[in-house]
Amino acid sequence: MAVILHVDLDAFFASCEKRRNSDLEESPVVVCVYSGRGKDSGAVSAADYQARDYGIHAGMPISEARELAEEAGEDIAFLGADKDYYSQVSEEVMDAVQEEVKDIEAASIDEAYGLVEEGYDEARGTAERIKDNVEEMELTSSVGIGPNKLIAKMASDRNKPDGLTVVEPDEVEEFLEGMDVEELHGIGPKTGEELDDMGIETVEELREARRQELVEKFGEKKGLSLHQKARGEGSKNLEKQEQEQLSRLTTLEENTRDLEDINPVLEQLSKEVMDRVEERGWRYSTVTVLFVTTDLDTRTRSTTFKTASGSRQRFQNTAEELAEQFLKEDPKVVVRRFGVRASGFDKSGQKSLGEF
């Protein structure tokens, strides 16, 4: 039985800031997009759960958020958004998700759907491994498991933060029971108001509404969608992105900068990446090594070849050279997590003359 899981990183932007600055660990954090007209001009991009307790939320004007902070008498950290850093961390997380599920759909920088074909027990185990991997990155995630994308997405929201919620097919109606219509994923305030005008406030009332009545009010496409949502029906199809890279990352047993400690790990990770490359019948042209340092900074080093290859030995040797080069460049750096990546794929299946 195919099962959908939805991985949602908790308060992602704020959590990224806490991850790289331990001084913020106990502080409420608000991430802002400044307009350039002063420290109070712009909007809140994200707020962690502590800041949300004071009424601060995404989309709020920064000036209003600062007023709430002053009223609370709380020392809340207001930080500018660092999208490049968040993208780096997101990439690291998506790699970890891809290690556990073959097919994924990255829904946003901090959300992904995954397909598990072996049923609910396997999906739960997969979700627990993903959560453990994310925790190793000093982040938390909430995962929802359900028969389709709609229920999986809503399940991941049910027990935030750091939750795991499983909704099997015969539990869908109970899961939706008592919800207001605006709690259904994809129904916004405007649609909620229009449904309210029809005397529909709860999911149960929407489920009991005549389909034709909804079609007449909202049009065929939206009307049918509302009818299906109220029954917990949703898509199982993932919008799979073409994989442009294959990676493996792991947390080292001990922080180190010693190649004798890193190289055995590098050898194993290289083997696992090349297993996946060969399984797809591809050849790579770019080799990358990834380092997460003890200050949780993510750094990479890469080499790109003129012709693609399927050579395992070249991949491993190149990765070893890049790792050695990186450690020589910075004699003070200490590595916490390490990974390797293959990219720049030739997917034609044709070997080069050198490989023959």
Tell me which residues are annotated as active site: 111
CA pseudo-torsion sign 327, 333, 338, 343: negative
Contact 68, 74 (CB under 8 A): no
Please give the full DSSP string across 259-291, using - where no structure is assigned.
HHHHHHHHHHHHHHHHHHHHHHT-BEEEEEEEE
Residue 244 has φ and ψ, to the nearest 5°, of -105, -5
Helix (H) / strand (E) element for 50: namely helix 49-52
User: Regarding beta strands 284-293 and 164-166, do their DSSP bridges make them parallel or antiparallel, or are they unpaired?
Assistant: unpaired
Please give the angle made by the CA atoms of 256, 257 and 262, to the nearest 5 degrees: 75
**Contact, 252 vs 226, CB < 8 A?**
no
Enclosing H/E stretch for 207:
helix 203-208
CB atoms within 10 A of CB 25: 10
Residue the block writes with tokens 């709430």: 68
User: SS3 for 177?
Assistant: coil
